[in-house]
Amino acid sequence: MGRIYTAALCIIGDEILSGRTQDKNVAQIALWLNVQGIRLMEVRVVPDIQDKIVKAVNELRAAYDYLFTTGGIGPTHDDITVDAIAAALDVPVVEHPEARAMLERYYAKIGGELTQARLRMARVPQGADLIRNPVSGAPGIHVENIYIMAGIPHITAGMMEGLTGTLEGGNPVISKTVGAYAPESEISELLKDLIKRFDGIAVGSYPFFKEGKVGSNFVVRAEDEVLANAAIEALGAALDEAGFPSVPGGI
């Protein structure tokens, strides 16, 4: 096993904390990070308040290899992410010439004016470079180990696309699932035995209630695909033997 690369995600947005908007970024970023060989270890959601953002950013960028942020990079008064991250890094906010040029071209093309409000979107913490966004064109911002992305999920996805393959990572975690109509309380010993038998795996148990029956999906996670496959097969066999017919891939 090589080095494990870790990341945190800081979601900046009153709209998530008020319940107005259902977050979709955690899952899509988590899945994408895993493909990059990076493990999402912590998520924080903080309000649009500079002190709260600064505190979270400083704690998370120190604790993990990478910090990703989403939200608060638009043109309005509540978009304070760039200012807060500059404050966290103790650097000034500057205009990025390439970002300004991109905005100039964009508004010339659509016939709009490059107002002061729109120029806000060319502001970056000093020392930053841009994250290309092949999907929507709107760039993200990279500074030190921080990757500043949009909050709107399909724009976030474009920025991830631009970052794909550029981040140093380790091995992705392989997940294998098996399901059974077994109450998880009846197979807890079986799971403990599995973990003892296969060194290097983690096992999650996710109960559900479907068509009037209780059951669980069991997920084996490991860096090594051979190990993950061996463990999930052993688990399926053990479930069958215990009288709970196993469903490869989960229910």
C-alpha span between 200 and 204 (Å, rounded) = 14
134, 204, 245, 249: which one binds a second copy (CB under 8 A): 204
Distance CA 84, CA 7 (A): 19
Is position 171 an interface residue for a second copy (rule: CB under 8 A)? no
- From the list 83-91, 125-133, 182-190, 231-239, the region that binds a second copy by CB under 8 A is 182-190
Cβ count near 17 (within 10 Å) = 14
Answer for which of 92, 137, 200, 207 binds a second copy (CB under 8 A) is 207
The answer to the question of residue 118 lying near a second copy (CB under 8 A) is yes
Interface pattern 11-50 for a second copy (x via CB under 8 A): x--xxxxxxxxxxx-xxxxxx--x----xxxxxxxxxx--
d(Cα 133, Cα 14) in Å, to the nearest integer? Answer: 25
Regarding 233 and contact with a second copy (CB under 8 A), the answer is no
Asked if 181 and 208 count as a contact pair (C-beta separation under 8 A), the reply is: no
Decide: helix, strand or coil at residue 70: strand
* Sequence-ordered list of residues with C-beta below 8 angstroms from that of 106, at least 6 positions apart, any chain: 137
Residue ranges in contact with a second copy by CB under 8 A: 11, 14-24, 26-31, 34, 39-48, 52, 74-78, 112, 115, 117-118, 120-121, 152, 173, 175, 183-189, 191-192, 195, 202-208, 219, 221
